[in-house]
Homo-oligomer: A and B are copies of this chain.
Amino acid sequence: MQKLNRIGITPPFLVFLGAETRSAMVKTGRGLLEWRRELCRGQLRLSQDAVDLGLPDLTAAEAVGQGVKSLVIGTAGIGGGIPAEWHETLLDAVQQGMDIVAGVHTKLSELPFLCEAAEKSGARLVDIRTPPASLPVASGRKRSGRRLLTVGTDCAIGKKYTALVLEREMKKKGLNADFRASGQTGIMIAGQGIPIDAVISDFITGAAELLSPDNEPNHWDIVEGQGGIFHPGYAAVSHGLLIGSQPDAFVVCHDPSRDFISGWDDFRLPTIEQVIEQTVVIGSLTNPEIRCVGISLNTSRLSDSARQKATEDIAGRVGLPCVDPLKESIDPIIEKLISEFPAAPCR
């Protein structure tokens, strides 16, 4: 059995935001703050106009003085790199002994000036997007235990968030559940996982199989989805993650205010029904019992009354529970999951 790509991140953290002004581009930092607030001591911004997460602004020196161990890069652009204007700040942090944790495509270890400084100071350069060295081709073998995958009508629409809420609320109910991270922010939060979109294509489904290994019969892996099965850029990633995860259940994440794929304005968002149908068609290859157990809405751009109408309309249309887990309880989806997959008796 291959091991997961276990990332060792040492808290507490300083969240680096560069000069990024677009809120949607700092989802890594925001996710870390939301799910591990107790580990975040401050933020480091290169401009007063940059997104403000509400943490104290600290220099690298100040952060080290307060016991911070790792500077975590909290931005994630499309295909993201490390711009030259970050170099001085990153170098300073490393020289002061802080680890750098990054989830962008450019590898920290490919920047010689950082490597040299890290060797001298003893700081570590942690590339969250570097997959395990030798991944297998997928076997398609059915694994023990149960799995739920979050899928979406688009990227950045709530798949990670929904998975994390499901894990938290299922645990509160005494269910045996673990969040399985497939992307950089998720890996930072979970402390482990596989950056599925950084894997060589031949091995993507094999990597997805490793992400949710054999487990106890009543155990649920809550697998963080990626991309979207109708996404012109990332559908192949979603496909590999889907058939490798072999999910019993899935939840569709959707933003009712979005009409087009973000950044691909020629492509209309698929309907929830199209995503359900296509996820079942593709997922049936490795799990013929696959079914949808709910819809998770991102209604951040809707009024309360519009949100209520949207959840009711969709629930009625699709015939499944529909909630915005940021605004209301996700219990209806968990109840549907339990009713569809009653726990097997202990032996």
Residues of A within 8 A of B (CB): 78-79, 105, 136-141, 196-206, 230, 232-237, 239-240, 243, 264, 266-267, 278, 281-282, 285-286
Contact = CB atoms under 8 A, between A and B. Distances in A.
A200 B232 CA distance: 16
Looking at A232, A236, A264, A286, which has the most chain B CB atoms within 10 Å of its CB? Answer: A236
A327 B50 CA distance: 66
Contacts of A264: 139-140
7 closest A-B pairs by CB:
A236-B240, A140-B232, A197-B202, A239-B239, A236-B239, A138-B233, A137-B233
A230 B239 CA distance: 11
Copies of this polypeptide in the complex: 2
Given A140-B264, A236-B239, A243-B235, A204 B201 contact: yes
Contacts of A234: 137, 202, 205
Contacts of A137: 78-79, 233-234
A204 B201 CA distance: 7
A190 to B, nearest CB: 20
Contacts of A203: 79
Contacts of A230: 285
A281 B280 CA distance: 13
Contact of A198 (B79, B138, B202): B202
Contact of A235 (B78, B196, B205, B278): B205
A136 B79 CA distance: 8
A200 B198 contact: yes
A79 B236 contact: no
